[in-house]
Amino acid sequence: MVLSVSRRTDIPNYYSEWFYNRIKDGYLYVRNPMNAHQVSKIQLSSEVVDCIVFWTKNPEPMFSRLEDLDAYKYYFQFTLTGFGNDIERNIPHKKEHMIPIFQKLAEKIGREKVIWRYDPIFFTDRYTPEYHLKAFEQIAGALNGYTSKCVVSFVDIYAKNKKNMSAVNSFSLPEKDLVTFAAQIAVIAKNHGIKTASCAEVIDLSACGIEHNCCIDRELIQQIIGYKIKADKDKNQRKKCGCMESIDIGTYNTCKNGCAYCYANYSQESVLKNCRLYDINSPLLCGNITEDDKITERAVRSLKEHLL
In 3D space, the residue among 98, 107, 2, 12 whose CA is nearest the CA of residue 54 turns out to be 12
Q: Which residues contact 240 (CB under 8 A, 6 or more apart)?
A: 200, 201, 202, 212
Split the chain (308 residues) into runs of 10 and give each run's mean pLDDT. 97 98 98 94 98 98 97 98 96 97 98 97 95 98 98 76 75 91 97 92 83 88 96 75 90 95 89 96 94 96 92
Distances (CA, A) of 283 to 29, 31, 298: 5, 11, 15
Could you tell me the residue range of the domain that residue 290 belongs to?
Answer: 2-307
Q: Count of domains in the chain?
A: 1
In 3D space, the residue among 95, 165, 82 whose CA is nearest the CA of residue 131 turns out to be 82
Instruction: Say what the pLDDT of residue 157 is.
Output: 61
What is d(CA 20, CA 67) in angstroms, rounded to the nearest whole number? 10
Q: Identify whether the C-beta of residue 56 lies closer than 8 Å to the C-beta of residue 6.
A: no
Q: Identify whether the C-beta of residue 247 lies closer than 8 Å to the C-beta of residue 3.
A: yes
Q: Identify whether the C-beta of residue 215 lies closer than 8 Å to the C-beta of residue 53.
A: yes
In 3D space, the residue among 213, 236, 102, 98 whose CA is nearest the CA of residue 153 turns out to be 213
Q: Identify whether the C-beta of residue 253 lies closer than 8 Å to the C-beta of residue 156.
A: no
